[in-house]
Amino acid sequence: MTTKTSDIPVVILCGGRGTRFREKTEFLPKPMIEVAGRPILWHIMSFYAGHGFKKFVLCLGYKADVIKRYFLDYAALERDFTVDLSHPEKLQFHGADAQRDWTVTCVDTGLDAMTGARLFRVGKYLTADTFLLTYGDGLSDVDVPASVAFHRQHGKVATVTGVRPQSRFGELIVDGHKVQKFSEKPNVEQGFINGGFFVFSRKMLDYVRDDDGCILERDPLERVAADGQLMIHEHHGFWQCMDTYRDLERLEAEWNGGKAPWVNWK
């Protein structure tokens, strides 16, 4: 039986230390770094919800308490409310809440666990025949429903979204000592990289293990590929990870410029 879109869970890897973004992650887990006044995690979840995927499983680790508190206090942080201080249990929230139909499962998957171990440890919460997985630090305008349809069509274990990101450096096309073409920070033209935004069947859980050192992108996905069970869904649109302060500035610029290609919600 094929799982309905609304029942497909989205696993988000939120547990890493974000060591390349030390100026922010000393105080916050990376997914809680704000883009345009809200955590990037909120943007990622809103993007999936905009496509109809509203069941989330968050793999927590480093500073897990910050993310747990955010969702425990979510209604109070996002909405107006009235509280009777003599009866604090009488709490009344005002206004509509666009996220009221989200379900969020927060799972502490270990302080130093790698990505494969984190996936293994949330497996008990993944009962559907298909689930999605992405990282807690990247935004895109990838067509998620199309990737799910592609995944179901080919029937393999795993689908990875392949992207060609913008290079951090200028590209020189040369003939001997003559520069034929100068392109400042072009998109990578040869090959794809792992852009996240995976679609997996439950069989993927058989490839990961309960071992802190299990890295999803190493042995598990290498074995899936060797078994002929990994397919690529090519994405040629917007994609941006947030590894550095410069990446954050680019995302802020996209938002402030009125573009923000990942925004598919009102």
Q: Which two tokens stand for residue 243?
A: 């590894």
Residue 188 in domain? no
Residue-wise pLDDT for 238-264, tens only, equals 999 998 899 999 999 999 998 899 999
Query: Mean pLDDT over residues 105-130, rounded?
Result: 96
Residue 173: which pLDDT band, with cuts at 50, 70 and 90? low
pLDDT at 158 > cutoff 70: yes
* Domain housing 49: 5-139+196-230+243-256
Residue 56 in domain? yes
Residue 188: what pLDDT?
A: 53
Q: Count CA atoms within 13 Å of residue 207 on its CB side.
A: 24
CB distance 157 to 200 below 8 Å: yes
Residue 187: which pLDDT band, with cuts at 50, 70 and 90? low
pTM above 0.75, yes or no: yes
Residue 209: which pLDDT band, with cuts at 50, 70 and 90? very high
Residue 199: which pLDDT band, with cuts at 50, 70 and 90? very high
How many domains does the structure of the chain reveal? 1
Residue 49 in domain? yes
* Whole-number Å distance between alpha carbons of 226 and 126: 25
pLDDT at 170 > cutoff 60: no
Residues 33, 39, 43, 49: what is their CA dihedral angle, to the nearest 10 degrees? 140
pLDDT at 174 > cutoff 90: no
Residue 112: what pLDDT?
A: 93
Q: For the domain that residue 71 is a member of, what is the CATH number?
A: 3.90.550.10
Residue 11 in domain? yes
pLDDT at 185 > cutoff 80: no
pLDDT at 69 > cutoff 90: yes
38 Cβ contact list (under 8 Å, min separation 6): none
Residue 185 in domain? no
Residue 198: which pLDDT band, with cuts at 50, 70 and 90? very high
pLDDT at 186 > cutoff 60: no
Residue 37: what pLDDT?
A: 93
Instruction: Give me the DSSP letters along 7-68.
Output: G-EEEEE-----GGGHHHHTTS-GGGSEETTEEHHHHHHHHHHHTT--EEEEEE-TTHHHHH
Residue 15 in domain? yes
Residue 265 in domain? no
Q: Which two tokens stand for residue 4?
A: 């309905």
Q: Which two tokens stand for residue 175?
A: 């003939």
Residue 25 in domain? yes
Residue 205: what pLDDT?
A: 97
pLDDT at 134 > cutoff 90: yes
pLDDT at 147 > cutoff 60: yes
Q: Which residues pair with 91 in a beta bridge?
A: 83
